Amino acid sequence: MVGAPRHLTLEVKYLDRAREFYGSVLDLPVREDGGDEVAFGAGDATLWIRTPGAVPRGGLHTHYAFSVSRAAADDWYERLDRQLTVDEHRFGDDRSLYCYDSDGNCVELAATVDTGDGVVGLFEIVLEVEALDSAVDFYRTLGFEVIDRGDQRRRVRLTTGEIDLELWEPQLGLADARGGVHVDWGVEAAAPRTLTERVREAAHSVEHVDGGSRLRDPDGHYLTLFEP
């Protein structure tokens, strides 16, 4: 059973610019600050920003979403609009604000919860994939559930119940966002070794690491499954 998000890693060219965006503009708390990477808190999850280096690399032009409270949506819009170009979309009663960080990642602030201060969690990650059907099969085998399919474009939305995953064939989405390439991310999962063995033949690689197991999917994305 896959569950809550643990981390998302972004590759950045200039650490100081990215640190300013996530620390000052989005007001994420710093958890670790090293020479070539910084970890920010995003609710219970961690956002890593990392300069180019060791594999697994962080994602490029990754579209992802943080959760914020509905009550704070107006304040977030005013705050972002003072410094950035903001694109707003509504989905029923929910509201999302889209902007770009200094490295071209499309950051969505999704007003989907009733209470909470600042960024309260990691809500969604979008991966770019070459062949949608096989990518969906891969993640369904790991325990993700399909909840929506695109009518106008080739995309599928899946969920663990605690984080949504969108798989996109190469395209521009809302706010001209793209799915990420070579994304490094992680979720909690019961029996990580058992789950990764289910996809060993389809995966590029599977390895067991401290606290869980890490795989590289057919599109080159790294997913680590952590023991809760």
Q: According to the 3-state scheme, what is the secondary structure of the chain?
A: CEEEEEEEEEECCCHHHHHHHHHHHCCCCEEEECCCEEEEEECCEEEEEECCCCCCCCEECCEEEEEEEHHHHHHHHHHHHCCCCCEEEEECCEEEEEEECCCCCEEEEEEEECCCCCCCEEEEEEEECCCHHHHHHHHHHCCCEEEEECCCCCEEEEECCCCEEEEECCCCCHHHCCCEECCEEEEEECCHHHHHHHCCCCCCEEEEECCEEEEECCCCCEEEEECC
Average pLDDT, integer, range 22-37: 94
**pLDDT digit string (tens) for 124-167?**
999 999 999 999 999 999 999 999 888 766 999 999 999 999 99
Q: What is the pLDDT of residue 153?
A: 66
At residue 35, the pLDDT reads 83
Domain with residues 2-226, CATH architecture? Roll (3.10)
- CA-nearest of 128, 130, 109, 218 to 172 is 128
Domain ranges of the chain: 2-226
pLDDT of residue 117: 85
Cα dihedral sign for 201, 203, 207, 209? Answer: negative
Nearest-5° Cα angle at 30, 174 to 54: 75
The 10s digit of each residue's pLDDT in 159-213 is 999 999 999 999 999 999 999 999 999 999 999 999 999 999 999 999 999 889 9
